[in-house]
Structures are given as C-alpha cells and as structure tokens.
Structure 1
Amino acid sequence: MIDNHRTGPDPGLIEAARAGDGPALDELVSRCLPLVYNIVGRALNGHADVDDVVQETLLRMVRGLPKLRNPSAFRSWLVAITVRQVRTREQSRAADRGRSTHLEDAETITDPALDFAGLTILRLGLTEQRREVAEATRWLDPDDQELLSLWWLEETGELERAELAGALGLSDRHAAVRVQRMKKQMEISRGVVRALGADGPRCAELGQIAAPWDGTPSPLWRKRFARHLRGCGVCERRERGLLPMERLLSGLPLVAVPASLHPERVLARVHLATTPSASGTSGAEYSSEGARSGNGGSRAARRGHRRRPRTGRQVPARRAVIGGSAVVAVVAVAALVAARLTAGPSAPAAATAPPPTPVAVTSASAPPPPAPSPRPSASPSPSVRTSAKPSPTKHSSAPVRIASGAKKGVGVWTFNGVSQALAASGASWYYTWNTQHQGVTTPRAASFVPMIWGAASVTDEALAQARAAGPYLLAFNEPDFAQQSNMSVDQALRLWPKLMAAGKVLGSPAVATGAATPGGWLDRFMAGASAKGYRVDFITLHWYGGDFRTPQAVEQLRSYLTQVYARYHKPIWLTEYALIDFSQGTRFPSAAQQAAFLTASTNMLDSLSYVHRYAWFGLGADPSKPSSGLFTDGTAATAAGRAFQAAR
C-alpha cells in the first residue's frame, strides 16, 4: 500500500451541505464526481450505463446526507453507496437481459475504443508498462472488475484498504485474499497483452492459437493464451522486466470526467430531481419510482430522456430538501444551467472546407517512387471521392452506441444509394473527410466521425460542427501530399491549439506515407507537439499495398503498424487502406484478391489491441471499372463488399 493518500472533502464542507448551504452542496457534488466516475467507469468498463449510475449515486448521496452521523466517514460511506449502485445496475441488467432484443443490447454496449481502459490510456498518456496494465484490465472476469475499480484507486492513493474492504462488506483479511487473487489474474493478463502486442515476429504457435480469436479480450481467451505462455520459452522471455503494478500505478491521477458528466450537467439533474413537480410529486418520489425499474428507470426511457432535445422548458426555483430545511436557489441561475444543458443542437451550417480530392499513396512498407505517382481523376464518380459541393447534412435522429468488438469503418462519399449501402455494409463508424455527413443518413448501428480536412477548414463554423458530432475528431488529410491538404509541419502546429480547444479525442494528422520514418512529416509534427505540450490522443494512418499476394500484403501492413506504434506508443486509427498499386499509374488487384486481403487484414487488425479503429477505402465502387469499393449502389455489394459484411 502506498503512502500518498489524498484526503476527501473537508468536514466543514460536508457539515455546511448537511445544514442546507446550497453552494456547499454544489461544491460537494463537484468534488465527489471524479471519484465516483472512476469507480463506476472501471467497474462497468465504460459501459453505456456509466453516466446513469454515476448520477444516481450522487443523487442518493445528496438524499442520504442527513443520515450521515460522522462527517469524517463521508468518503467510506460514499464509496459504499457507489458499489451498491454498481451492483444494483448489474442485477437490473441481468434481469433485463432475457427480455431485451439483440438490437437494444447492441445499442447499450460501449464502443471498445471508449472502454475505460482505452480512456485511461488516452487521457493519462500512459507510458509503456502502465499502458499494458490498463489494457490488462480488459481481460478480467466480471466479478473482478468491481474489485479492480477499488484496488486501482487504493494503489493510486485515492482510497485506503479499510475503505475498500468496507465498500465490499468484507473483513480486511478477506479483502486482502480477494485482492491477491485479482492481482494474479492481472499479472497473467499483462503477460498476454505483452505477448500479443510484442514488436517483431510473433511466436508462431501463439499466432495459430490466436487465429480464430475475434480480437475481443475475455477471460476465456486469457486462459487459452496463458496456457501457451506458461510453456513457451519465446513468450515467457517477453515478460521479463515487468515492474510491480503497485509501483506503476503509484501517484497516477484520476481519469478526467467526460463532458457528458460535466459538473453543471450533474448539478442540473440533482436540482431538478429534488424539486417538487407541479403535481406535487417530490423529486425523491420520482427517483424511487425510477429505481424500481433500474437505475433511473428502464434503459429505453433513459435513452429517450438523454436523446430528446428539450427547449423552452420553464425551470422552477430549486428546492433541495436537506436535513429538514429548504435551500432555494436563484431562479435565473437554475434556468441558465438548465437551458444550457437541455437546448437542442443548432442546425448545421454549410460545409466550410473544400472536399478532398481522391487519394493515391504508395505502399507504406515499400520504398516510395522517385516522384509522386499520378492521382486518379478528380471528376465525380462512384469510385472516387467527389469534388462537387457537398449536399446539406442529414443527421441521425439519435446518438448511437457501437456494438462490442466492432472496429471496422469505411470512408464514404456520395453516390446513388449511399445511405442504404452504408447500412448494409455493417460498418460501425464512417467519415466523409468533412465535419458534416455530406447527405449521408447515419445507420442506427453506426456513428459518424468528423474531420477537419485542411488549413481552410479550421474555422469557428467547422469546429462547432465537429463539437456537435461525437467524441472524436480526425485532423488534416495527408498534409504531406501536395495534392491533398498540403500543409507544412509549422502550419499544422500553429493551428493545432484550435483543434484541441474543440475538446474531442483528437487524432494526429493522417499522413499518406512514412509515419514511422525518423525525421518524416509525422515524426517532426509529433516532436513539435511534444515540445509545445500539445495533446495528440491517437495516431491516424493511411496505407495502400502494391503487393497483391494476401499473406505478404497483410504482413507488410502489420509491420508498418508495429513500427508506428513502437515509435509513438499511442493508439492507432487506420483511416484509409486497401490494395492499390500507384507505383506505375493506378493498378488494382482482381476482385478475389481484394476480397481475400480484406478478410485476412480485418482479422489481423482485430488482433492488435493498439489498433482502435480502421476504415476501408471506400464504400462506393464503379461497376464499369476496377476499384477497391464495397458497393456499386445501395444493394449490390462487390466481392470486397461481401467480405467486409462478413468481417466481425
């Protein structure tokens, strides 16, 4: 146990909140939010219900304050409430599982790139062995996730062992036994993470074992890989030099609370939930009713509550009942907060940046040609990205959650039946090289990711559109190519603070080639960003292969990704890739070769834990000529399209 324990809220603040001091109560909720979020987020591994459970926990904390006899025990009491809410949610979910449709289940599972291990890595910028510890948490048994959420905070100095044991309802001795058992599983998982993500050629036997694996960490696959590791000299050697987890976690900060749980949002819900309604139903009665059907009501009701824009709503004066006294907040302040949180998004403006021209790059694993190879025609056609003025954006009607295990995405441009083709493809996400959908309707099971294409796209209007389009932001399309965004490293660095200010999980500029080359465009950009203290959350890459033999092409792509990861140690998004040879004009493989590569490459990409997403180039295909596209219209899939549909 480390000795850097961080103190909880001051007893004076707790007493003031209990006595009915409104500002003190608001301050207490804000102070408790990061701790509660980190416990719930790690226990549920970033599941879609995290926000609901966090808010319900804080509501119960507010209502229970009058019964708290000893303010010095506040934090232990709060942690115990949090664990109870996690368990209540798990019990409710287990009861609902048999009654839920497959579609509803898919909507409530978090995007794997947004699970709590991934958020920890992205937001804390963990170094190599700390990153491996975070990734190892994905492999734990469900029963150990709850314990992990508390033990992690114990080792980072947020909790004491007595608080951990008390929250679980265990004696110190029993808690110690459970912690040791969980830590053993974590050490095994660290070995698995290191073996699967090792630089250089992977152990051949391990590769055979991993061949049928879908890339999703699970206790079953942990046991299978661990059996191999115990008897393999090659894999065992990779585990040498692992530092104790306690040493690696010591002093780490909490993972930052996301925008969806901004203190103002949580406080607004606390205020509204504790305000008597016009019908005389108290906030406490409302909450209890919701608790009877799970945390805050049924999943469908909660999703509808979050999705429906509420405009023009009159907010009554807040009346929080605490310790028998009423605290009346200023009506104007409550109305201002509620209006800020409930107003729907403004109508999207027209695109502010010119759409990109088609991409052509050489294989990242082969030497580049002496001069840039010719580009495909920029005239609009189904097989290339159109240069026509984009159509007005058509937004999806509701936020979407991506099914577990799905990394696959696709680049999309407009053609006849594009929305129907996108839905049929099974892609979990897509982008249009723009901050808007470009007339594409987002399928229910997919999400849209915006891009700031080049220097001309860095406008207040485009950044506002990006902020409204989800948690991620892609940046600067092939700045190292004159035919694309054509930016110098210095120009990109000058504009980067504006992209950071959007508050999104931000990807690096997507270079066309040479991402792992020392002194290359991306290398100089990353060095400059580091020197200036700029944030880059993940690396964005493009890759096109000119070797049409499937095993060789897959290995060349894997080698390139490995080199890039070894250089920057950040998650990778592969946002354009296919088999196209640009070394002498533009040459495509046969339809069968393209499909075979797509199947093999997606299996490989799903096995790399540091590859968080990939996008095939692209959705549209011209039926009259060779291409790498997936659909010639809304229903007709190419051979590659059928392979893409089958990819998990």
Structure 2
Amino acid sequence: MPKIRRSGPDTGTVMAARAGDRQSLDQLVAQCLPLVYNIVGRALNGHADVDDVVQETLLRMVRGLPELREPSAFRSWLVAITIRQVRNREHGRAAARGRSARLEDAEAIPDPALDFAGLTILRLGLTEQRREIAEATRWLDPDDRELLSLWWLKETGELETGELASALGLSTRHAAVRVGRMKKQMEASRLVVRGLGAAPRCAGLEETASAWDNIASPLWRKRFARHIRGCGVCTGAEQGLLPMDRLLHGLPLLVVPPSLDTARVVAAVTGGGTPSSGPGADGSPASAHAEGVGRGSRRGGHRRPARRPSGRGGTRAFPKPVLGGAAVALVAVAVLVGARLTPDSSAPASKTALPSSPTPAVTASPSPSPSVVRSASPTPDPTRTAEPTSSPARTAAAAAPVEIASSARKGVGVWSFNGVSQALAASGASWYYTWATRHPGVTTPSSANFVPMIWGAASVTDASLAEARAHGPYLLGFNEPDMAEQSNMTVEQALGLWPRLMEAGKVLGSPAVAAGADVPGGWLDRFMSGAAAKGYRVDFIALHWYGGDFRTPQAVEQLTSYLDAVYQRYHKPIWLTEYALIDFSQGTRFPSPTEQAAFVTASTKALDSLPYLQRYAWFGLGADPSKPNSGLFTNGTTTTAAGRAFQAAR
C-alpha cells in the first residue's frame, strides 16, 4: 500500500516552538488539533466532554514542551498525553457516576445520533462495510474504544506501530496482543450490526432483543453475537466481510468541528505567551518514551542483609470549558497556562487512604523504624499489617525553600511514618509504591500515582491480585527473590506463580533482583530464559542498585553502566525501583548528607537521559533524624539534604 502522508507538525516546527517562538507555537497547536480531536473523539465516542479533553490535552502539550528532548519523537509523546487525558476523563466519569443519583446517570449515556461513530459515517460518507465498522465501535467497552482510536489512526496512516505501543505504555508485542483482542471484539460487533440491521430480522434474534434497552453495550454484544454465530438463519452474516485494515486504509481524519475553532483553541491554549518550563506533560516521560500509568500498601521492616555481594569489578556495590461555549472557559484556561501544572493521576484528585490490610496467615515480629539502616529497615513483608510508628524528632533548623520539580519518571519507596502523606505530596514524586498492593495510612496526592506490587509467594492470593487490578495499568513482580531476607524464591517457584500475575492483565514488571541482573546464569537471567521458553509475558525489567563508592561521578557511572548492561542483555524497558548510596560490603555504611544529596542531583539527571529507563524510585521517603540513612523526609514538612535535592530533581 502507498505511504500515507501523516498530518501534524514537522520537526522544525516542534524545535522552534520548544525554543519559544510564538508563531511556531501557534502553528504547532493548530496542526496537532485534528489528530488529538480524532483520538479523543473516538475514544470517548463523541461524549460532550470531547472538547474539554482536547483542549486540556493541548494545554498540557504546551506546558510540557520545554522538556521534550527528542523533537523527532513528538508525535508519540503527544499521543501518550492524549491517551492519559482520555483515561483521566474516564476515571473521573466513573467516579462521578458512583456518586450520582440514578436519574443523573442518563447524562453518561451517549446519544446515538451524536456519537463519534455517527459523525464518522456522516462526514466521511462511508461505503457500506466502512459504515458497519463505524457503527460497530459503539459496542466496545471504553478500554477497547481507546485502543481502537489509536489502531484506527495507525491503519489510516496517521500513527506508526511504535507510536501506538508507546502511547499505551506497552511493548510492541504486548500492544499487538491487545490489538488482536480488540479486533476480535470488533468482528463480533460487526456481526451484531449486520444481524440487527437485517431485513427481515431473524425471529430468534428478535426474541433475544426483546429485553434489550436499545443501548449498545459489551454485554449485549456478547448475547447477540452468541445467537448470530449459532443460528442457522443468521449464519450468512459473516459472508463477504472484508478485513478491517483494508477498509480503513487511507481514510482521512475527521474535520475538527466548529465548537473547536482552531484560532480560538490556539489563543486559549497558548494564553498569549510562550511555554514556560514545567513538569513533563501529564505523566508522559519528558524523553518522549511514553508510559501508561496507576495506584496501593506496605510495611514496617523490609529486611536487608548485613552484607551485599560486590558489584562487577569490585567498583559497583550492585546492584470545561466547552470551547464552543462561554468565554469564561477560555479565561480559565488562560489562567491555567500561567500556573505550574503537576502530572495527573489516573484517578480523581480527591483520594483517601485505603483501610489497612487484613492480617494474613503469615505473621512476623515487629520491625524497627523504617528509617534505620536497611539491614533492619523499611520494607516489611506485605503479608503483615503495618505497625504504628512513633513521631520522629524534628530538626532544629528549617531548610531553605526548594522549588519542587516533577518528572513522570521520578518515584519513591514509601512506608508509614508521621506525616507520610504530607511528605509524599511535597516530594515531587510522580509515582510511589509500598512493596504491596495497598497503601494503608498513605493518602495518594493528586500529583502522584500508586503502583502495586506482589511481594512474594505468600502474596499471590485472589485478594491481592484483585487489589492490584484496581490500581492503574502497572504491576511490579516479586521483591528481591534472590535474597533470603526478602521474598526468597527459587526461579522455578517464581515461574510457577507467574501466570497468576499475568492474569491480572497489567503491564507487568519482572521480579526485582537485589543484584546481578546483568549476570549470565544469574537469578534474573534464568527467570527470563524460563519465561521466554514458556511463552510468559514480562513487559519491563525491575531491579535495585546500591552504591558503595560515595564519589559522585564514579557512583553515577557505576549505576548507569549497570543499567546499560541490563538493557543490552534483555532489550526491555527498565524500572529502577530501589536505589541510593549505601555500602553493605562491611556492615552498613552511609555517605555524608552532602554526598548523598550530590548523588541525588547527579543521578537523577543521568537517569533522565537514558531512553530505556522508564522510572526510578529512591529508597526511600522516610528518614530517622537520629541515625545515618538515605531518606528524604523526617516528618511531613522537614526534609533532609537528599530530600531537598530530590525535590529539585526534574
């Protein structure tokens, strides 16, 4: 098939807009509007909020533009932002419906005469089978419509395969699996459209539809498709159906409607000024390696051994405004443009702490404060309930104010301490985890997302997996299975349980080994080989690193060299889920506060330059002011030197 010329800006326009050229910025917004509108419109099926989401997406694009390092990756970065905004809107609508009276739920039911499928048919004048495909989209659930909006644009030449996968935060292979499943649902939906549109309609199908409420839904799609495929009268519905990709190839984008007048959108989004430096737009990485995103609990005593194995060569420790409406909406957007925006979470801004986990069968004695050395510190087995912690002493002098920066990559390991929720919000972390599937005592701020973890073998329960499914798109695998003091699992045991984690349907991270992730024949290497042999899915590599060389340049070099070696071995995205300067070679030794802070500043800058490094998490949020440690906050408001460096890290 001939190559379709894709819409949107060229690299030169992106570079000029990023540099602050106002004319180029206006041009950039105008050229991105059709692509964003088509993604959002199809994903939300023409809901009344489409205009709002389009405008908010473009606003976040402008705010995050200064941090886009690779202009050639602009499109995938923009698509990732767009998908995040669609997901945020869907989460918000779901939460709102949960709080609404039944009568108010009618607002959420799309008008078949106004939805995006109808607009597609009307505006493009589709032929019969293309019309059936457009109508079939009404029968998909929101997740599949989101995916369809990207796949449709890929088939029409507007997106590349890599851009689709990047927007979903998936590997190309995993994205292909999801697309395959969605296409099966679409084929079933096409049958339903044909069956219901037949004249005369099958009497059996008519009887099945007698209780139907005339609203397209996944439930009724399954019922109708089951009848059509098993009915002798309806059996001809599949005859003559052409592959969807052939039918969609070369279709143009829908024209942006008058309610999204280009000139007004440009004026509203750019606010009459040039973009200012700010956080990465809406949770997509500033490097344009998009992620998908999500939220959940952990502990009192994640045990660390007194000694760590040495690293390679002995030098590395180891590892609403509706635009067609009121002018006040445009004013509100202009005000927002002048304000610093924080990355969105995939849940409503108002959150409360989850209740503590029920006491599991596995119990353990209370562990020391998580701010003490890691050999007796932060991460208890998540199969225990969290113990109350005492309030740490406050430091005498308040630290100078630090501008809090944010990056979609920047995260932190969190355990309960006095003021933990306030500290998390003040840290600038865009994500956090608690080594478990819940986060008792921790309120997730609107600027951060929670990522659940299945800590060990005892955590592979129906209840834990159900909790994991409730929190965003990611799931972390077992914690340091190569350590006797941690989840302590054999490779065979981990592989035996891995299908249960895969069934959660999440973007799934490998078990996070304590060391030797790059070693041929090591724990992770044997696990990855076993997973490949069994056809198991591992979407990204999770690992830990602690440095015993406290000289900043050397420590940063050792860390990045280790990550490079791991990437070269597996060629998968990497999450560095624990790291700090702590020397375990002879007991437990920490650097000075100044050395730790210098490492935070230098390492975060280096990590942000690695294209395959999707996320990192500092160990950890809490700090005991009476002892050496690597923590960031001694309470809700008092930072350590490392904490101030972490706040400033972008």
TM-score scaled by length of structure 2: 0.51
When residues 161 and 594 of structure 1 are mapped into structure 2, their CA distance, relative to the original with a 3 A threshold, is same
Q: 1:605, CA displacement in angstroms?
A: 0.6
Q: Does 1:431 pair with 2:401?
A: no
CA displacement, residues 180-200 of structure 1 (integer Å, 9 cap, x when unaligned):
xxxxxxxxxxxxxxxxxxxxx
Q: In 1, are the aligned partners of 2:582 and 2:590 still within 8 Å (CA)?
A: yes
Q: In 2, are the aligned partners of 1:449 and 1:470 still within 8 Å (CA)?
A: yes
The structure 1 residue matched to 2:568, chosen from 557, 566, 571, is 566
Question: How far apart in 2 are the matches of 1:292 and 1:626?
Answer: 58
The structure 2 residue matched to 1:45, chosen from 80, 83, 102, is 80
Question: How far apart in 2 are the matches of 1:510 and 1:550?
Answer: 25
Q: In 2, are the aligned partners of 1:493 and 1:528 still within 8 Å (CA)?
A: yes
Q: What aligned pairs does 1:79-94 form with structure 2 within 5 A after superposition?
A: none
**1:645 equivalent in structure 2:** 647
CA RMSD of aligned residues (A): 5.2
The structure 2 residue matched to 1:580, chosen from 576, 579, 582, is 582
**Given residue 131 of structure 2, which amino acid in structure 1 is its aligned partner?**
F
**Given residue 434 of structure 1, which amino acid in structure 2 is its aligned partner?**
A
Question: How far apart in 2 are the matches of 1:116 and 1:426?
Answer: 27
**2:497 equivalent in structure 1:** 495
Question: How far apart in 2 are the matches of 1:305 and 1:473?
Answer: 15
Q: What aligned pairs does 1:434-513 form with structure 2 within 5 A after superposition?
A: 434-513=436-515
**1:389 equivalent in structure 2:** 385
**Given residue 74 of structure 1, which amino acid in structure 2 is its aligned partner?**
R
SS in 1 for 2:250: helix
**1:167 equivalent in structure 2:** 253
**1:60 equivalent in structure 2:** 116
Q: What aligned pairs does 1:157-556 form with structure 2 within 5 A after superposition?
A: 164=250, 166-167=252-253, 216-217=286-287, 292=324, 349-350=357-358, 352=360, 378-383=367-372, 384-385=377-378, 387=380, 389-390=385-386, 405-556=407-558
CA displacement, residues 453-503 of structure 1 (integer Å, 9 cap, x when unaligned):
100011111111111122111111100011110000000001001111111
Q: In 2, are the aligned partners of 1:418 and 1:440 still within 8 Å (CA)?
A: yes
Question: How far apart in 1 are the matches of 2:452 and 2:588?
Answer: 28
**1:634 equivalent in structure 2:** 636
Q: 1:380, CA displacement in angstroms?
A: 2.7
SS in 1 for 2:115: helix
Question: How far apart in 1 are the matches of 2:285 and 2:476?
Answer: 24
The structure 1 residue matched to 2:173, chosen from 111, 117, 124, is 124
Question: How far apart in 2 are the matches of 1:53 and 1:619?
Answer: 30
Q: 1:163, CA displacement in angstroms?
A: 5.1
**2:185 equivalent in structure 1:** none
When residues 50 and 159 of structure 1 are mapped into structure 2, their CA distance, relative to the original with a 3 A threshold, is farther
CA displacement, residues 75-103 of structure 1 (integer Å, 9 cap, x when unaligned):
89899x9xxx99xx9xxxxxxxxxxxxxx
Q: In 2, are the aligned partners of 1:349 and 1:461 still within 8 Å (CA)?
A: no
SS in 2 for 1:556: helix
Q: In 1, are the aligned partners of 2:419 and 2:636 still within 8 Å (CA)?
A: yes
Q: In 2, are the aligned partners of 1:386 and 1:414 still within 8 Å (CA)?
A: no
Question: How far apart in 1 are the matches of 2:495 and 2:646?
Answer: 36
Q: In 2, are the aligned partners of 1:474 and 1:509 still within 8 Å (CA)?
A: yes
Q: 1:416, CA displacement in angstroms?
A: 1.3
**Given residue 350 of structure 1, which amino acid in structure 2 is its aligned partner?**
P
Q: 1:434, CA displacement in angstroms?
A: 1.2
Q: What aligned pairs does 1:595-614 form with structure 2 within 5 A after superposition?
A: 595-614=597-616
Question: How far apart in 2 are the matches of 1:571 and 1:452?
Answer: 19
CA displacement, residues 112-167 of structure 1 (integer Å, 9 cap, x when unaligned):
x999525365252599xxxxxxxxxxxxxxxxxxxxxxxxxxxxx97579953643
Q: 1:421, CA displacement in angstroms?
A: 1.2
Q: 1:406, CA displacement in angstroms?
A: 2.2
Q: In 1, are the aligned partners of 2:491 and 2:527 still within 8 Å (CA)?
A: yes
What is the identity percentage for the equivalent residue pairs of Structure 1 and Structure 2?
55
**1:71 equivalent in structure 2:** 128
When residues 463 and 121 of structure 1 are mapped into structure 2, their CA distance, relative to the original with a 3 A threshold, is closer
Question: How far apart in 2 are the matches of 1:627 and 1:346?
Answer: 28
Note the residue ranges of structure 1 that are not aligned, 5 or more in a row: 4-31, 90-112, 128-156, 170-213, 223-254, 260-288, 310-343, 358-376, 393-402
Q: In 2, are the aligned partners of 1:466 and 1:473 still within 8 Å (CA)?
A: yes
**2:278 equivalent in structure 1:** none
